[in-house]
Amino acid sequence: MAERKKEIERSAEEIVESFARAAEGLPKLKETYYNQETCNVSRPDGEPSSEEERTEFRKRFISIMPGSDEKGNLRVEVAKWVEER
Amino acid sequence: MGRGTIEKLGAIQQGELSATENVQQALDRIKKLDKKIKAFIELNPNALAEAEAVDCKLKRGEHMGKLAGLTIGIKSNINVKGLRATCASRTLENYVSPYDAEVIRRVRDAGGIIVGMNNMDEFACGSSGETSSFGPTDNPVAPGHIPGGSSSGSAAAIAAGMCDICLGTDTGGAIRNPASHCGVVGIRPTQGLVPAHGLIELAVSFDQIGPLAPDVYGAALMLETIAGHNPKECTSLDSPSVNYSDKLGIGIENIRVGTSSKFSELTDSAVMGVIDGAVEKLHDLGAEVVEVELPNLEKSLSAYYVIMFAEFFSATRKFDGRKYGRRIEEVCGDEVLRRITCGDYISRKDQHDRHYKRALQVRTLMRREFGEALNKVDVIVGPTVPKLPHQLGTKLSPAEMYAYDYLTSPINLAGICAGTVKAGEASGIPVGLQVQGKVLGEETVLRVMRALEAVK
């Protein structure tokens, strides 16, 4: 597992560096973050979904949660990898 | 592949074929062929009941939508309520969608019957269909070869006649590449034309949902069903709805078709020979063929991958196994982990400007170059994939695998539309012509594709 991770990290760095070399010599232009220039960021809120739909959605979501208490609340623990970062 | 979409729709409308019979035939074919092909991850247990409901409405003479009675396959990264959206990954193998994506709502409204969820490369990370956690998909028309990816199951299902139309997604060529290798039709719409709501993203600024179909009419029909503004999305284009299927037969006389010498520099000669033949046919049909300049086409690939790595890394941070699924890094395959690792590296503060910002500048350059080229012509035509598909299981380096996207990723970078239609065969393997159009130029792209399809 550790060896796999190490090998992938090595190949990832190689790939990214080779891609950086490919862009050498190209003109420095303004960055395009998104292809559309007019993002509809002030969209209307719309109507809330019905009580029945919300209840059903909640039921469906609870059924795929890895852990929940008797009231249907999501139960999580601090992930072990948080400390690694 | 059986009868064409237009004939099948006619048969359903005239009562010669019921929706139930159509779904049953699809399920029988899947049962017969899918153990080997692996085009589907899950089937819809309610498909026959949904078909019966469509038949009842047809019998009562109720107004039905454009897809009434047709069987539809959905790529496993699009949410379909009650079915698993796995992204072909162990991370989401038990994720049952609690809601329908906007495109699914539109397909259902049009009377389409979802038969199941198609196999794909894991999280759409691949161009071969081999990285799925549910096993690689085989190519029905070139057995033993990759079907292309990442919409591998969708293209294979169409090529094997397992369903009438599929929805795939295209981030760097993931609809067009498998359409080319499997000899079917695929459309990547203009960025923002089709709602992305309910799509589990690979790279949000590139992803587009689009159709795969056995013929241009089927692809046009599905595109006009799913295209159109969604006010709930901030990046959905507010464009008028277009009836693409009605205008397919107009012909291409006086259409200006561009080609570029760059295509032959990047493409194997066997593939290029087929493409040259297709361009010749377009010329014979009355199109004016002219040379256009795409001076930095080959630089697109690296910029595309850098942006995609960064966006994919960001998108996967929610797969921490807390609310649903399992933590991605613990269960994913090598290619997904490689892309997450690349994205992590690029997103670091000390690397951001050198890699990500630079790639965004190359995106501007590509938009400009394609914009200038498409100012001189109506469409640009060339190969979809620069090489023939490899044999399943062949070991390729990441760079060799990424090279499949040389000719498709520039379209995503430029945000324009493109479609793929079979141009011919090389060594018995299909080769697809890529027709690249302007922003919202789908109508012209489809017309050119239909013209080529009609002369075969």
pLDDT given for residue B139 in this prediction: 98
A85 has a pLDDT exceeding 60: no
pLDDT given for residue B89 in this prediction: 98
- From chain A, pick out residues whose CB is under 8 angstroms from the CB of B237: 36
Residue B320: CATH number of its domain: 3.90.1300.10
Identity (one letter) of the amino acid at A14? E
Structure tokens at B404: 């499949």
Q: What is the mean pLDDT of residues B145-167?
A: 98
pLDDT given for residue B1 in this prediction: 44
Structure tokens at B436: 């690249």
> Which one-letter DSSP state was computed for residue A77?
-
Give the DSSP per-residue string, B315-338.
Answer: HHTT-SSSSSS--HHHH--HHHHH
Structure tokens at B340: 């997450």
- Please state whether beta strands B429-437 and B417-426 pair in parallel, antiparallel, or not at all (unpaired): antiparallel
Q: What is the mean pLDDT of residues B163-191?
A: 98
Task: Give the total number of structural domains in chain B.
Answer: 1
Please give the residue range of the domain that contains residue B219. 5-455
pLDDT given for residue B234 in this prediction: 84
Alpha-carbon span A23 to B182, nearest angstrom: 33
- Among B404, B375, B401, B407, smallest CA distance to B387 is for B404
B11 has a pLDDT exceeding 60: yes
Identity (one letter) of the amino acid at B277? G
B202 has a pLDDT exceeding 70: yes
> Quick one: what percent of chain B has pLDDT higher than 90?
93
Alpha-carbon span B257 to B374, nearest angstrom: 9
B120 has a pLDDT exceeding 80: yes
Of A60-69, B86-95, B116-125, B147-156, which range is least confident? A60-69
Cβ–Cβ below 8 Å for B306 and A16? yes
pLDDT digits (tens, 9 = 90+) for B406-446: 999 999 999 999 999 999 999 999 999 999 999 999 999 99
Give the DSSP per-residue string, B396-427.
Answer: --HHHHHGGGTTTHHHHHHT-EEEEEEEEEET
- Give the CA angle between residues B377, B379, B384 to the nearest 5°: 140
pLDDT given for residue A42 in this prediction: 64
- Among B137, B115, B116, B119, smallest CA distance to B128 is for B137
pLDDT given for residue A82 in this prediction: 65
B5 has a pLDDT exceeding 60: yes
ipTM of the complex: 0.84
Q: Which residue of A has its CA nearest to B311?
A: A33
Alpha-carbon span B99 to B81, nearest angstrom: 4
Cβ–Cβ below 8 Å for B96 and A16? no
Cβ–Cβ below 8 Å for B205 and A35? yes
Structure tokens at B365: 């350059």
Q: What is the mean pLDDT of residues B93-107?
A: 96
Residue pair B224/B245 in contact (Cβ under 8 Å)? The answer is yes
pLDDT digits (tens, 9 = 90+) for B319-374: 988 888 999 999 999 999 999 999 999 999 888 889 999 999 999 999 999 999 99
User: How sure is the predictor about A3, in pLDDT bands with cuts at 50, 70 and 90?
Assistant: confident
A78 has a pLDDT exceeding 70: no
Structure tokens at B290: 């002219």
Can you give B137-198 as a three-state secondary structure string?
Answer: CCCCCCCCECCCCCCHHHHHHHHCCCCCEEEEEECCCCCHHHHHHHCCEEEECCCCCCCCCC
Cis amide bond preceding B180, omega within 30: no
Cβ–Cβ below 8 Å for B301 and A61? no
Q: Tell me the pTM.
A: 0.95
- Among B148, B169, B187, B147, smallest CA distance to B73 is for B169
B277 has a pLDDT exceeding 90: yes
Which among B235, B299, B346 is the nearest to A16, CB-wise? Answer: B346
B117 has a pLDDT exceeding 90: yes
Q: Give the distance from residue B232's alpha carbon to the nearest chain A alpha carbon, in angstroms.
A: 7
Cβ–Cβ below 8 Å for B205 and A28? no
> Which one-letter DSSP state was computed for residue B76?
T
pLDDT given for residue B2 in this prediction: 53
Residue pair B160/B147 in contact (Cβ under 8 Å)? The answer is no
pLDDT given for residue B323 in this prediction: 86
Q: Looking at the complex, does the CB of residue A75 fall below 8 Å from at least one CB of chain B?
A: no
Structure tokens at B83: 């079915």
- Among B123, B184, B208, smallest CA distance to B413 is for B208
Q: Give the distance from residue A1's alpha carbon to the nearest chain B alpha carbon, in angstroms.
A: 10
Q: Using alpha carbons only, how large is chain A's radius of gyration in Å?
A: 23
Q: Looking at the complex, does the CB of residue B143 fall below 8 Å from at least one CB of chain A?
A: no
pLDDT given for residue A72 in this prediction: 78
In what helix (H) or strand (E) does residue B288 lie, and over which residues does it extend? Answer: strand B288-291
CB pairs under 8 A between A and B: 136
Side-chain half-sphere CA neighbours of B39 within 13 A:
33
Q: Phi first, then psi: what are they for B94, rounded to 5°?
A: -110, 15
Q: Phi first, then psi: what are they for B209, rounded to 5°?
A: -85, 140
pLDDT given for residue B408 in this prediction: 98
Alpha-carbon span B363 to B29, nearest angstrom: 43
Looking at per-residue pLDDT, the higher value among A79 and B376 belongs to: B376
Q: Looking at the complex, does the CB of residue B324 fall below 8 Å from at least one CB of chain A?
A: yes
Q: Using alpha carbons only, how large is chain B's radius of gyration in Å?
A: 20
Which among B81, B231, B364 is the nearest to A31, CB-wise? Answer: B364
User: How sure is the predictor about A40, in pLDDT bands with cuts at 50, 70 and 90?
Assistant: low
